[in-house]
Structure 1
Amino acid sequence: MNIKRNIIFALESRKKAGVSIVENVPIRMRVNFASQRIEFTTGYRIDAAKWDVDKQRVKNGCTNKLKQSAAEINASLLRYYTDIQGIFKKFEVQEILPTTEQIKKAFNTLHKPAEEGKASKDGTETSTKSFYKAFDEFVCDCGQRNDWTHSTYEKFAAVKNHLITFREGLTFEFFDEKGLNDYVTYLRVTKEMRNSTIGKQLAFLKWFLRWSFRQGLHQNNAYDTYKPKLKSTQKKIIFLSWDELTILRNFKIPDNKQALERVRDVFLFQCFTGLRYSDVFNLRRSDIKGEHIEVTTVKTSDSLIIELNNHSKAILDKYKDVAFEDDKVLPVITNQKMNDYLKELAELAGIDEPVRQTYYRGNERIDEVTPKYALLGTHAGRRTFICNALALGIPPQVVMKWTGHSDYKAMKPYIDIADDIKANAMSKFNQL
């Protein structure tokens, strides 16, 4: 059973003397399902100017009147989102369409103060509550300390969901070698995850168990020696060859698809600068310094100086007189929408070379052949820049200065690809 629902965080709409209140506004959580709506208070307030309507979160770096930080508030909102999703999943497993009262009751039970809950005779209920409460504290603590991005919070929300759906009454003691084996089996068989994905999920769980062990919450360190054999292959790097890049640049976009032009321009700018999506999104006019751009990357906080070439300059010139919000340089849309449009654009342009990807699920080897356009995303722009720069003979250490890579090991897969491109190019002399 699949219960369609929509979970929205928004500021409460309040007016005083006919004027909208924009300071210290309550944040509400609205849940829509089966033509019904439930409103929850989150217990947090924020000024409207500090609220990101699109992301439905407090803007990074902001605080409210109680000095609660964006990281703290957003972590709690994500926790509420995860809890609601977990509640719906339980009803789905039981194939029950819940009433609004059942959802409210289940949510309020989760958020009762710890002292209100009564432990069962064997202490299981207390241990279970302690496990998930500790997970929430772990997310909040590590998130604030490491300045996690929204996507990282989302990853750990998914980890918690997997744990909840795996077993309802989890405790720290459960995760001995057998318990860890059972969890890996669940991810492989029930969730049908690839070995590489299972490895990531296990690493996230170990991180939490290691943190909680250091906090003195349990004495079970079985995770330390647990290393299952998860056969995997190196992930294939998806990029555009110079010929494909030329095809994409020269493709005449249909009149009824003109929105794709701006998407193409942003993607091409990545292909000629090596910038990640997040850095193109944040690029401001003040970052353009004549013949180069200066950026501090969002992901790694590296300060980079990237020289402009004729291709990247042409794209900047195209939009130099267009005013964008927050003085941005380029018309960058959301990552998800841009990924969707990129696939559509590449398909229309005929970039459909079959790409074979190999992965393992348990000991089963699975080969999938997919047209290249279906695998394209914004990060392919950065990869395209690196691969083509190396193929042109630009030294790796120079490319690394542009991309911010500090580890030669991270560049090796790209160098191998560049060597293959050069070898294939040399073979063309045999056709003369």
Structure 2
Amino acid sequence: MATVSFHLKEPQADRPTAIYALLTIDRGNRLKIYTGQSIHPSKWIKDDQRAKERGKGNELNGHLNDALNGIQDRLLTTYAEHLAAGALPTAAQLKAAAAPVAITPKVPQLDKADLLTVFTEWIASRSLTHTPNTLRTYRTTLRHLRDFQSAAKYPVAFDTVGGTFSQRLAEYLLTKRQLRDTAVRKNLVILKCFLAWATEHGYPVPPDYKKISWQRREPDILTLTRAEVVALASLDLRPALNNARGLFLLGVYTGLRFSDVAALRPEHIHVDRLRLTTQKTRDTLTIPIRPEARPLLAQIVAGTLRPLPNQVLNRYLKELAALAGIDTLTERTHYAGGKRHTTTAPKYEFVTTHTARRTFVTLALEAGLRPELIMKITGHKDLKSFSRYVNVTEDSVLTEFARVYETPVVETTAM
């Protein structure tokens, strides 16, 4: 008699991991066969040895379970057929039996496919490999497309997304949805990624979809100075604000995104470094631990530094920055539809979770770390994206100029 069970290669991983089958035969002999399937451990039911099928983001798990059921049947059938012939199947024969069964797409149906329906299926197909935040942005784009079709009376279909479609959609997002240039660009990039996938899978996408683009201007970069970070770290706070400060300062000291700070676990913390897989890009990063970060990481290990929702933490951060005296009048600029919009307010009004990562990059450069080393820590792949995190202030220009050329910085006074 033989039995088949399914297990995860890395059940404690924070990323999708391989699923393997364990074929147990008489006298306790076991053979491990990889199925070619993978899943995030959070979506796996260990006792059932199957994927979760209920809950948001689990829409495709029924297909995965069907695939596992098929693999189980084929393994048991292969074993029984060889046993009836007086021999045991080889490892290669079992591996072939576990191989995914190819399904030939029904090409004629692709010509009649509804773009918004296929977009929904595309999002679902990424639920096993993409983070919840990324999937949320995909669903936002899908919602904008549906709203655009309804409000603008413009059909969103595979035969209409070429030509001037992106300009029409961008105009709608700017004027009706009041989105900024950066948000418009993000939605168009997601649409373009979907259309590239649809093209690869045989859907009738107009070839000029590749011209979809949006010229944006980068908003101002806000960072804290070294003195402002010290002032923030020196505050005597009530527990809720102290917890919020700890999360923010971990971002300042490590350069991690807020989502990665919130996901830190004791197993990520080593003697002299952090090692973890990022939530957004799935890159594995190694980050040296600064002395200032050690007490905060000890709180992670002890379970006393607790994650907060992004919106709640942003609200606390403005209060913290105000308490720390980070109140210099600051002008912030953003762009919508190519138009420049400015707002002037105390600096603490503009502090958010993302300020921490940008502060890390800027202060690390000011301290003399090479850009390529900082990029290795933050996970940036190119200088263009990295430069969006660098804030070169007037004071830092004057100080660095004086250091290099040995000219003192002179304070001018009114006569």
- In the superposition, the TM-score normalised over structure 1's length comes to 0.63
In structure 2, the residue matched to 1:217 is 203
When the two chains are superposed, the root-mean-square deviation of aligned CA atoms in Å is: 3.3
Q: Which residue of 2 aligns with 1:62?
A: 44
User: Aligned pair in 2 of structure 1 residues 357, 351: CA closer, same or farther (>3 Å)?
Assistant: same
Structure 2 counterpart of 1:263, one-letter code: A
Residues 82-161 of structure 1: pairs in structure 2 closer than 5 A:
130-144=114-128, 147-161=129-143
1:281 to 262, 270, 273: 262
Residue 330 (structure 1) aligned to one of 295, 305, 328: 305
1:200 corresponds in structure 2 to 186
Q: Deviations along 1:181-202, whole A, 9 cap, x unmatched? A: 3222211211122223222212
Match of 2:57 among 74, 81, 89: 74
Letter in 2 for 1:138: W
- Summarize the alignment of residues 314-353 of structure 1 with structure 2, pairs less than 5 Å apart: 314-317=295-298, 319=299, 323-324=302-303, 330-353=305-328
Deviation at 1:264, TM superposition (A): 0.9
CA gap 1:246/1:71 in 2 versus in 1, 3 angstroms: farther
Question: Is 2:332–2:344's contact at 8 Å kept on the other side of the alignment?
Answer: yes
- Deviation, structure 1 residue 61: 4.0
Q: Name the counterpart of 2:280.
A: 299
Once residues 379 and 401 of structure 1 are traced to their aligned partners in structure 2, the CA distance between those partners, rounded to angstroms, is: 18
Provide the C-alpha distance between the structure 2 equivalents of 1:410 and 1:179, rounded to a whole number of angstroms. 27
Structure 2 counterpart SS, 1:345: helix
> Which residue in the other structure is 2:94 paired with?
none
User: 1:153 is aligned with what amino acid?
Assistant: L
Aligned: 1:398 with 2:373: yes
Paired-residue identity, %: 29
The alpha carbon displacement at 1:332 in A equals 2.5
Could you say if the C-alpha distance between residues 135 and 72 of structure 1 is closer, same or farther in structure 2, counting changes exceeding 3 Å? Answer: farther
1:171-215 CA deviation, whole Å, 9 max, x = no partner? 222324244332222112111222232222122222223322333
Distance 2:336 2:282 in 1: 36
8 A contact 1:60–1:70 mirrored in 2: no
SS state of the match for residue 366, structure 1?
strand
Change (3 A) 1:195 1:307: closer
Which residue identity does 1:345 align to in structure 2?
Answer: L
Q: Distance in 2 between matches of 1:412 and 1:71?
A: 42
After superposition, what is the alpha-carbon deviation per residue over 1:269-293, rounded to whole angstroms, capped at 9, x for unaligned? 2222222223322323333333333
C-alpha distance after superposition, 1:238-278 (max 9, x if no partner): 2210111122122333xxx4310111122222222222223
Distance 1:354 1:75 in 2: 47
Could you tell me whether the CA contact under 8 Å between 2:252 and 2:360 is conserved in 1? yes
Q: CA 1:180–1:149 in structure 2 vs 1: closer, same or farther (change >3 Å)?
A: same
Task: Quote the Cα distance in structure 2 between the aligned partners of 1:225 and 1:275.
Answer: 33
Q: CA deviation at 1:420?
A: 6.1
Q: Where does the alignment leave 5 or more consecutive residues of structure 2 unmatched?
A: 1-39, 61-110
Return closer, same or farther for 1:246/1:167 CA change in 2, 3 Å cut-off. same
How far did residue 72 of structure 1 move? Answer: 9.2
2:93 maps to: none
* Structure 2 residue 351 is the aligned partner of structure 1 residue 369: no
The answer for unaligned runs of 5 or more in structure 1 is 1-57, 78-125
Amino acid at match of 1:162: H
How many corresponding residue pairs?
313
Deviations 1:359-382 (A, max 9, x none): 333343222334322222222222
SS at match of 2:42: coil
> Given the two structures, how large is their TM-score scaled by the length of structure 2?
0.65
Residue 158 (structure 1) shift:
1.0
For residues 312 and 323 of structure 1, the distance between their equivalents in structure 2, rounded to whole angstroms, comes to 14
Q: Which residue of 2 aligns with 1:312?
A: 293
After TM superposition, the structure 1 stretch with the greater mean CA deviation from structure 2, 374-383 or 295-304, is 295-304
